[in-house]
Amino acid sequence: MTLTPARPGRYAAVFAGPVTDYPREAALHELFAAVAARRPYAPAIRAGRRELSYGELDARSRALAARLREAGVRPGDAVGVCGGRSPEAIVAVLGVLRAGAAYVPLDEHSPPARLNAMAEDSGVRAAVVLPGARCRVRRLGVRVALTDGPDPGPGFESPAVGAGACAYVTFTSGSTGRPKPVAVPHRGVVRLALSDPDLPRPGAADRVLHGYAPSSGASTIEIWSGLLGGSCLVIAEREELLSPVALERRLREDEVTIAYLTTSVFHHVARTRPHAFAGLRFVSAGGEAMDPALAREVVRACPSTEVANLYGPAENTVVSTVHFVRGLPEDARTVPIGRPLANSTCRVLLPDGSPAGRGEEGELYVGGDGLALGYPGDPRLTAERFVTFDDGERLYRTGDRVTVNPDGVLEHLGRLDRRLKLRGRRVEPDEVEARLRDHPSVGEAVVGVEDDGLVAYLTPAVPGRPADPSALRRFCAKWLPAPAVPRAIHQLAAFPLTPAGKVDRAGLAALVRERTTAAPPGADPGDEAGLRAVVASAWEAALGVRPEAGDDFFLIGGDSLLAAEVVNRTRAVLGLDAAHGSRLIRALLDAPTVEGFAGAVADALAGTPGPGTAVDFEAEARLGFTLPHATGPAPRPGDPADVLLTGATGFVGAFLLDRLLGRTSARVHCPVRARDTVHARRRVLATLDRYGLSVAGREDRVICFPGDLTDPELGLGPSHLHELGRTLDLIVHCGARVNLVYPYPALRDANVEGTRAIVRLAARRRVPVHFLSTVAVLAGFGAAGTRHVNEDVPLAHADRLTMGYAESKWVAERVLREAARQGLPVAVYRPYEVTGDRRTGVCNTETAICSLFKMIAETGFAPDIALPMDFVPVDHVADAIVRIATGRTTASETYHLTNPRPATLADVVERMRATGFEIETLPYARWVGELIRHVTADPASPAAPFVSLYVDRGGGTDGSVEETYAEGMFPRLGRRNTEAALAGSGLTCPPVDTTLIDHYLEHLFASGFIRRPRAGRGMS
């Protein structure tokens, strides 16, 4: 976006700070290393009684950088830092930078749903996990636990990183209800810390308060001004910031000389203990409008302390302008935000783009060396907010209303978009309103501010059916910081309107001024209330949100993995047998409220039988419609121009996309669960990157768009659906909801109805459908006593299956078989255990088999069970499917993608021992007891979602589900079709031998999924 001022020359429209000589071409870690070399023994960080010197911080961050590089982190990658404020967080930040990457602070106190959204949108594929913290981010390629490691020595060199490269990614609120990532360059932070001669710079004799988590913008000036100045950072606990007495004690006892505070903390202290800052040489406030009366109180009580009001958005590296509070008039009603920082610029423009005159209100644009790079993954919004003027200067539109006073100083008047700062956090009412409107019980929503808190005004989605205020607050808490959750909620049948037809906000306040929203009734006394309290505590521990009556688990951040965690936490507290796990999962799906789940828990405690779950699979497996007569040009699967690939954001799907692009010249259409096409494309590319794949040079052949397998029309519009039906030559249906815990009804829409939707799309032109199933559909044969199953044997024994996922795939296969009988070309692929790429070892660690290996490594116990390790490398699976799909005429065949030379679990355990693990093999029943103890102690363990596999009974057997896959129980699988189809192709599945097992273990170690044994003897 380019702006041309309409009325140039009215006055100096550009406010520029002084241009100073500072190391604008240097990277942050380079400047830090120079300080550490000069002052290796000086204290860098103090936390209570702990101190870390510059030399120690330098060595530990170098060691971490070396580990990150060894783990595959590349220059420019976004690396999450999982945890809170601590000396180790500083080590992690520096280590990430020294690896050439950008750090992304992920506060452990944020709800898991929000954390995962932040990680996805910022492109995090690797993370450093701080001591004592749990990484709640999924779909990571690399996890590195921060531990003391050896100094990599003088041979280690950080990759060359320019000052314009991204140093960190922070987040701001957005009107979509989703946090926006902001990429900040090294130069922006160096400008903030070192370029302004008037802003007191910390020096070697200073101690700088470090009171804010790295995820807060306020921490940027604390950390980097302190470290680049050679000062000592003094870490304050969050509780100290909330208590003026405690904060004063911290400042005094640790002899702090510089404090960069949020305005809310500054005000909190100034109201009761303005003299608390007397020992400082400099204190600043920023983030909200400074109260002039409180500012004067501090100046009077602390005559030797320089007081400053700082202003700036994250998009301009935290600080754009500064105003020193000196001689503030007694009648001043505001405190100015001042003049631009050194090497920074400001412009004040009217809506038509012309410069505002003195005293004339306009929008503030800021720029200079602090300007952010933009919003990663959102070029449209970046172009909208970061604008370029005719003179070539690029600035950020702040959305703030300002004016220039007679002294040439900027005065802040408010937000154009009503964005607020409450209790130190930026809050945008539009974001809160969007979140409220997302709730199914809300029609319209408007929020305002009353008594320093948000108040919401709502109309019901269904007239006469008001929303539950407590539920709405918890629903907001899933995404929003605490200050953005409305304190009060007023509900009206309809909103009053102005003559112009807009909502009369003043009229809203007048209508409800005397009204209050009643609090929900308290829990009933007695055991029932106590049980609900236990359930609520388990939810809060898993979700990071305290539920209230009526809250829907899945609307306040819950999902399938967190459901398993909640069940295990509840079971651990109440001593419930693990055999109740699947039953409680089903109960949570059926009644996802605290009350409903507590009722199911009470039934389990009382020994009341659970509800029946019988499904008529034969009826479910009917196609349900007749295919139309074939019309239109015949598809050309041997030389496809257009291919539909579902599941492209999955492990196998990513490799299929890569192979389709490499083996054909087709355009590959990828429906993805996403907000829009930009988000869809970003998700697909991120998945490819996670697994070391790329579409470089082939980008124009990857067509991504929002889609939904649970929708009868795949979530596509009629014209889009028609165009695909007209042009497709091939469909590879890899997408599914993969969950080994959920029952069949929870998976039916995606896995069965989604397959019917694919059939409808393919039917008119008889486009060949290649369907990815699983060998689990054959488990019923083993339970029925069948010991060998060929590929062409009709599916049977659904009643002997146990897992809902296997049942859903069984039904989907049968649906496709009926379509094939009506003339639709169909191929079905049943892979066994899809494992890592043969070349890189990269694998999907969110699987039952990987969780089993991790549990064995962590506990030192392995089960004595003849479990086949029928590993089929993902690259072989993708190569085989693409070869068959494009190289043969589909004759409605089934292919068993299994390994002709598998191993057993005992072979894997032996290779783990060879690396240094001490592992004891236990009888299966004893080992299950150890598994349950492990998960009880750590309900968020990767093994937790899979406990039911080891305790639930297999259909029609005396053993567990897992035991139905053991040798002698699970049938041997024929491979005649597969071998015939791949004959002469050169595609062979490698044996599961020492080489392949060691290769996979090395990747699990290098990625941080399993911690490498310290005393490892090495692999022979």
CA dihedral sign of residues 197, 202, 206, 207: positive
What is the structure's pLDDT at 525? 26
Whole-number mean pLDDT of the chain?
88
Last residue of a domain, one of 485, 511, 537: 511
Which residues in the chain show pLDDT less than 50? 4-12, 175, 497-502, 513-526, 1016-1020
Tell me the sheet residues that pair with 410.
338, 404
Residue with tokens 């100290």: 240
Q: Are residues 580 and 654 in the same domain?
A: no
Give the DSSP H/E element, type plus range, for residue 264: helix 263-272
Last residue of a domain, one of 606, 637, 670: 606
What is the pTM for the complete model shown? 0.81
- Say if CB 135 and CB 143 are below 8 A apart: yes
Q: Are residues 497 and 579 in the same domain?
A: no
Q: Are residues 833 and 933 in the same domain?
A: yes
Beta strands (DSSP E) in 264-409 are 282-286, 306-311, 321-324, 339-340, 344-349, 362-368, 386-389, 394-404
Instruction: Write the secondary structure of 786-799 as one string of H (helix), E (strand) and C (coil).
Output: CCEECCCCCCCCHH
Question: Which positions ≥6 away from 629 have C-beta within 8 Å?
Answer: none
CATH of the domain at 574: 1.10.1200.10
Q: Is residue 156 part of a domain?
A: no
- Say if CB 925 and CB 892 are below 8 A apart: no
pLDDT digits 0-9 by tens, 766-791: 999 999 999 999 999 988 889 999 99
Give the DSSP H/E element, type plus range, for residue 209: strand 207-210
Q: Is residue 899 part of a domain?
A: yes
Q: Are residues 681 and 766 in the same domain?
A: yes
d(CA 244, CA 744): 56
Q: Are residues 682 and 717 in the same domain?
A: yes
d(CA 225, CA 254): 18
Q: Are residues 377 and 503 in the same domain?
A: no
- Say if CB 260 and CB 225 are below 8 A apart: yes
Q: Is residue 598 part of a domain?
A: yes
- Give 844-849 contacts, CB < 8 A, sequence gap 24+: 844/651, 844/874, 845/942, 845/1004, 845/1007, 845/1009, 846/138, 846/139, 846/942, 848/740, 848/946, 848/949
Last residue of a domain, one of 555, 575, 606: 606
Domain count along the chain: 4
Q: Is residue 315 part of a domain?
A: no
Nearest-CA neighbor of 276 among 254, 250, 294? 250
Residue type, 640: P
What is the structure's pLDDT at 12? 43
Helix and strand numbers, DSSP H then E, in the chain: 33, 42
Q: Are residues 374 and 409 in the same domain?
A: yes
- Say if CB 104 and CB 81 are below 8 A apart: yes
d(CA 668, CA 725): 14
What is the domain extent for residue 978?
621-1004
Tell me the sheet residues that pair with 233.
45, 208
Q: Are residues 693 and 752 in the same domain?
A: yes
Distances (CA, A) of 684 to 120, 669, 703, 791, 872: 11, 11, 10, 32, 23
Please list, residue by residue across 212-245, b when 16 or more beta carbons sit within 10 angstroms of its beta carbon and e when fewer do.
Answer: bbbbbbbbbbbbbbbbbbbbbbbbbeeebbebbe
d(CA 639, CA 663): 10
What does 582-628 look like in DSSP terms, one character per residue?
A: HHHHHHHHHS-SHHHHHHHHHHHHHTPPPPP----HHHHT---SPPP
Q: Are residues 494 and 541 in the same domain?
A: no
Q: Is residue 130 part of a domain?
A: no
Q: Is residue 702 part of a domain?
A: yes
Tally the C-alpha atoms within 13 A of residue 891's C-alpha that lie toward its C-beta: 7
CATH of the domain at 838: 3.40.50.720
CATH of the domain at 468: 3.30.300.30
Radius of gyration of the chain (CA): 31
d(CA 264, CA 423): 6
Q: Are residues 460 and 486 in the same domain?
A: yes
Nearest-CA neighbor of 601 among 618, 615, 587, 619? 587
- Say if CB 566 and CB 588 are below 8 A apart: yes
Q: Is residue 189 part of a domain?
A: no
Q: Are residues 442 and 365 in the same domain?
A: no
What does 632-662 look like in DSSP terms, one character per residue?
A: SSPP-TTS-SEEEEE-TTSHHHHHHHHHHHH
Q: Is residue 380 part of a domain?
A: yes
Phi, psi of 937 (to 5 degrees): -75, -30
Neighbours of 608 (CB within 10 A): 10
d(CA 102, CA 83): 16
Q: Are residues 489 and 432 in the same domain?
A: yes
Give the DSSP H/E element, type plus range, for residue 780: helix 779-783
Instruction: Tell me how long the chain is.
Output: 1020
Distances (CA, A) of 948 to 138, 787, 810, 944: 21, 25, 20, 9
